[in-house]
Amino acid sequence: MGEVILTMKDIDKSFPGVHALDHVNFEVKRGEVHALMGENGAGKSTLMKVLTGIYTKDSGTITFEGKETEFHNTREAQDAGVVIVHQELNMLGHLTVAQNIFIGREFKKGIKIDDKKMNEEAKKLFEKLHIDIDPTETMSNLTVGKQQMCEIAKAISHEAKVIIFDEPSAALTEAEIEELFKIIRDLREQNLGIVYISHRMDEIKVITDRVTVMRDGTYVGTLITNECTKDDIINMMVGRVIYEDPKTESTVPADAPVVLKVDHLNAGRMVQDVSFELRKGEILGFSGLMGAGRTETARAIFGADPKESGDIYINGEKVTINSPQDAVKCGIGYLSEDRKRYGIVVQKTVAENSTMACLQNFMSGIFINKKAEKKKAQEYVESLATKTPSVDQLVVNLSGGNQQKVVIAKWLINDCDILIFDEPTRGIDVGAKNEIYKLMNKLASEGKAIIMISSEMTEILRMSDRIVVMCEGRKTGEVRIEEATQEVIMNMATREIG
């Protein structure tokens, strides 16, 4: 490890209603791999976005190679030698490897693009990285792992001095990860500073020299990797005080009837052999880190995505769910994490959205009985305390919390007994959050069975009767609320797999 190349000091950044970074410190040395860890929403990505000029910091200083610097956009950061390899690959599938690497700064011969030179340069890059990729190959023919290596080559070609890897291993196979690590070690040898963002505890131990942990937008501390244990890191990640009272015990009787049973469900890489039971009147929390496969599990159950195998039982009876239509008939309602895209039709009214799932109940012959429709919608506007001037209001004009209530109304009007809430309070302000919580508790006490997917630990501990934890497409644990603590859950969520 050499001298410090990059220092971020007292970085502060607020968004309306959120203090995203609260005087955060971070540094990278030449020739080190520095892990940046924290739960979802801890502020890792925001910090890196401030560094690379995507966001502007409110206060604090960034010192790069001994000089105080501020990049105004990624281009400036790149030119200075700070590059980021994103989790999602930004590759143009129809172009060749070399064309991708040099996009935006093509070599030219007169007005003609000099593909030959680009291929040669790309080849040199790959040689430097000891990777075997043909620069003339079409990008979409490569595996995800190889594509990522092209991203890395692209980053190096900017004469990078600091490279940020944002969850680089998320989409890679075991063998590809090995190769990635080889490259990272190579880069370390070449004295680059490397930031490695990952949730995988085992990787952190293998590849990194130091670990910086963030929590709720604050800097918690920095450890030397081989002097600490997994538990040390987890304790730093979750060591927050929970202000809202966590639920201490479940009021659901142990023999409450099982309304939904999922048996060995498989659906792609993100849902592998998932089994669980959901009881009447219960709120079953689904916890896990980003990309754990919780949403994918929910979508597979709901028939939104195809399943490969596995059975679903409702009230003890085996059912076939191949489409959302089937799921709705079985009395399942799904509240998506991305309301605007999957939950509501924003340019339609509250009334029209409310009856979307069961319009057949509001027909007089072939005509929609708009009076009945509005009356029903009004009933639910009142019982859910949705704030809207009228049921004729376009949903786009409502706040996030009230839009969520419209989606809830949609499923309640359809008389769903099983509700899947996917990140029910995402993008909803604190006051409205409490209302949604109250509503969910009320629904559960009325005998609805609720699955709640949440990335917020406080929400999981406050609402759930039982908690299923997932990690990388598998269920890695299940605890009753009585035994659940942040540490227990985080341990399951970061469990090393085989």
Tell which positions 352-391 bind other proteins, by CB under 8 A.
Answer: 352, 356-357, 359-360, 363, 366-368, 370, 389
Among 45, 287, 393, 455, binds other proteins (CB under 8 A): 393
Q: Tell the smallest beta-carbon distance from residue 377 to other proteins (Å).
A: 14
How far is C-alpha 179 from the chain's CA centre?
25
Cα within 13 Å of Cα(328), Cβ side = 16
Q: Say whether residue 240 binds other proteins (CB under 8 A).
A: no
Q: Is 266 left (phi over 0), alpha (psi -120 to 50) or beta?
A: beta
Which pairs count as long-range contacts for 101-107, CB under 8 Å and 24+ apart, including other chains? 101/125, 101/135, 101/150, 101/153, 101/154, 101/157, 102/157
Binding segment toward other proteins, per CB under 8 A, in 86-94, 117-125, 323-331, 477-485: 323-331
CA distance 319 to 141: 39
* Closer of 344 and 440 to other proteins (Cβ): 344
Tell which positions 407-426 bind other proteins, by CB under 8 A.
Answer: 410, 414
Q: Say whether residue 468 binds other proteins (CB under 8 A).
A: no
Q: Tell the smallest beta-carbon distance from residue 349 to other proteins (Å).
A: 10
What does the block give as tokens for 157?
């070609």
* Closer of 1 and 368 to other proteins (Cβ): 368
Spell out the residues 6+ positions from residue 105 whose beta carbon is closer than 8 angstroms to its own: none
Task: Label the pairing between strands 67-68 and 59-64.
Answer: antiparallel
Q: Say whether residue 347 binds other proteins (CB under 8 A).
A: yes
**What would the x/- binding string for other proteins be over residues 247 to 286, using CB under 8 A?**
----------------------------------------
* Closer of 216 and 305 to other proteins (Cβ): 305
Report helix angle 230-238 to 486-493, nearest 10.
120
CA distance 28 to 192: 10
Q: Say whether residue 327 binds other proteins (CB under 8 A).
A: yes
Spell out the residues 6+ positions from residue 466 whose beta carbon is closer than 8 angstroms to its own: 250, 282, 284, 285, 478, 479, 480, 481
* Closer of 172 and 304 to other proteins (Cβ): 304
* Closer of 190 and 325 to other proteins (Cβ): 325
* Closer of 148 and 403 to other proteins (Cβ): 403
Q: Say whether residue 320 binds other proteins (CB under 8 A).
A: no
Q: Are the CB atoms for 413 and 357 separated by under 8 Å? A: yes
# residues near other proteins by CB under 8 A: 36
Residue type, 341: R
* Closer of 265 and 328 to other proteins (Cβ): 328
Residue type, 265: L
* Element counts in the chain: helices (H) and strands (E): 16, 24
* Closer of 124 and 370 to other proteins (Cβ): 370
Which of 16, 19, 72 minimizes the C-alpha distance to 46?
Answer: 19
Q: Say whether residue 431 binds other proteins (CB under 8 A).
A: no
- Applying CB under 8 A, the residues found at the interface with other proteins are 302, 304, 323-325, 327-329, 334, 336, 341-348, 352, 356-357, 359-360, 363, 366-368, 370, 389, 392-394, 396-397, 410, 414
